[in-house]
Chains A and B, each alone.
Chain A
């Protein structure tokens, strides 16, 4: 990776800018991840409670309907259930938790009073009422569980994505940038050292040439003096 980068000062400055941006992004994403995890832990607690409620409500409802079927007969229970055509309704809205859009489910017509269940009061029994009550309770818990568990799933997905981004910055992008920065810095230093060395060499050569010139000039001057003396 580092070898693909041209070791120029301009690139070094660009990499330094990217490192600064990535470090800032990394810190922000880390904060986001921690925030999401905290929110997730709250939702998880809620989800665990709802799950446990769901499980106990289901057991209660199943038991009540089993007892109603046993004591009143399956035909009577089915008959009471068939006396109602209207279904419960749900409406979904959304809310934002740290940038994650989670659903908010509102239910209506789940809990019904005795006169809204369709079957007549005079010819039915408390067992059927209790089974209906228990199933209404269960349905409300299911709707709440759907809301909480969907929020939990969405939060989990977001945490995973954020974690991957943080890890990518921490373990791939930033190390590469640091490596490139180091490579360029080393290259630039090397170039600088080479430059100094070259300058020194040139200077030395120049000085040697000057010295030779001076020596030549001195030799020439001495020869001239000798000739003049011979004349």
Chain B
């Protein structure tokens, strides 16, 4: 459970493969989209989510129970993967799972900012990242954002948060802090990867994730018409854009769409880009990038069976399962039709 020691991909992959088998497939999703939220909870109770549904059943109900159970299960599964991992495998896995640390830091900061109850903040945390329980407890007990910055000073978020704290104090909005946290995550996602062929493939996947994130943000900026410098939101490490290109393209939506369509991602995102031009909504584009990432992730899992890639592939598939079940339950709650819900699912 640390970056120290020798790498143990064989063991982790074996454990992950066993778990992969219990992920929901097409058949389960077909059943789920025809169920009501209580039926979905019941269905989950009879599968891998039993422990979480039973543990949270007395505190939450309806779709909230489903969502909290999904988050708790996700956290348990990823925490277990980190527990099994050692050496290089741990380093490669944790850099992706740190997004949950980023999520938890942002949640705690938001809680302090809005004077929310500690209990309310705690239930919204997803303990799937690298932070141990002690650090999370200290974060929950922090009574000021300054204290949070102090608690995180020995992590990758320490310096960026410290630098952004002055901006936060000046403007009294969380944007600088949130961006600093997310940027710290992305900066460490691709840093000093190197290594063998599976790692290079993993790197390509991460680069695709960064490219898609840059593309999404550029499109959001271009569509919002806000007077913001796209370069401030540029994430280093991707292959599709450099800072100058992104700044130039974000000023013109059409040019940006053409640029993405002409790139190596054009085939995967072509339909979504056409829809974006027609429907004036970024949702389809985000949906397409999610699907493309899942395809990349799935491909990763099959090329090098004993490496970090099947682990990452499982992590992505598990995340997607959680997102799909939540989408079905929330969609049902909102009264969406089965077809509409199915169109929102990303199933591989």
On A, residues with C-beta under 8 Å from B are 62-63, 66-67, 69-71, 73-75, 78-79, 82-86, 113-123, 125-127, 129-130
Contact = CB atoms under 8 A, between A and B. Distances in A.
Contacts of B178: 83, 118-120, 122-123
A70 B340 CA distance: 12
A122 B209 CA distance: 12
Contact of B282 (A66, A69, A130): A130
A130 B336 CA distance: 18
B175 A119 contact: yes
Given A115-B226, A120-B106, A70 B281 contact: no
B211 interface: no
Contact of B124 (A69, A79, A113, A115): A79
Given A84-B173, A122-B233, A126-B282, A71 B327 contact: yes
Given A66-B336, A122-B233, A75 B124 contact: yes
Size class of the contact patch on chain B: 35 or more
A71 B172 CA distance: 29
A82 B179 contact: no
Given A71-B326, A120-B181, 7 more contacts: A66-B336, A73-B326, A75-B124, A118-B174, A121-B221, A123-B178, A126-B220
16 contacts: A66-B330, A66-B334, A66-B336, A67-B283, A70-B344, A73-B67, A75-B126, A83-B110, A84-B173, A113-B224, A113-B227, A116-B175, A121-B233, A126-B219, A126-B285, A130-B281
Given A74-B330, A82-B110, A116 B173 contact: yes
B226 A123 contact: no
B326 A114 contact: no
B143 interface: no
Contacts of A83: 106, 110, 113, 174-175, 178
List of 7 A-B pairs having minimum Cβ-Cβ separation, nearest first: A120-B178, A66-B334, A126-B282, A70-B330, A122-B182, A113-B226, A123-B182
B331 A113 contact: no
A70 B327 contact: yes
Most buried by A among B64, B179, B186: B179
Interface string B155-183: 00000000000000000111101110111
A2 to B, nearest CB: 69
Given A113-B226, A115-B228, A126 B173 contact: no
A120 B164 CA distance: 12
Most buried by A among B235, B283, B285, B333: B283
Interface in B197-229: 213, 216-217, 219-221, 224, 226-228
Most buried by A among B103, B177, B326: B326
Interface string B334-348: 101000010010000
B55 interface: no
Nearest to B322: A73
B186 A122 contact: yes
B235 to A, nearest CB: 7
Contacts of B107: 75, 79
Contacts of A71: 323, 326-327, 344
B71 interface: yes
A117 B179 CA distance: 12
A93 to B, nearest CB: 28
A113 B113 CA distance: 20
A118 B175 contact: yes
Contacts of A127: 283, 286
A110 to B, nearest CB: 15
B114 A115 contact: no
A119 B216 CA distance: 16
Contact of A123 (B64, B106, B336): B106
B231 to A, nearest CB: 13
Contact of A125 (B111, B124, B177, B216): B216
Given A74-B330, A121-B220, A126-B285, A113 B228 contact: yes
B269 interface: no
A28 B185 CA distance: 74
B182 A85 contact: no
B344 A123 contact: no
Nearest to B123: A75
Nearest to B331: A70
Contacts of B329: 70
B193 interface: no
A173 to B, nearest CB: 59
A191 B235 CA distance: 108
A51 to B, nearest CB: 23
Contacts of A125: 216, 286
Contacts of B185: 123
Contacts of B228: 113-115
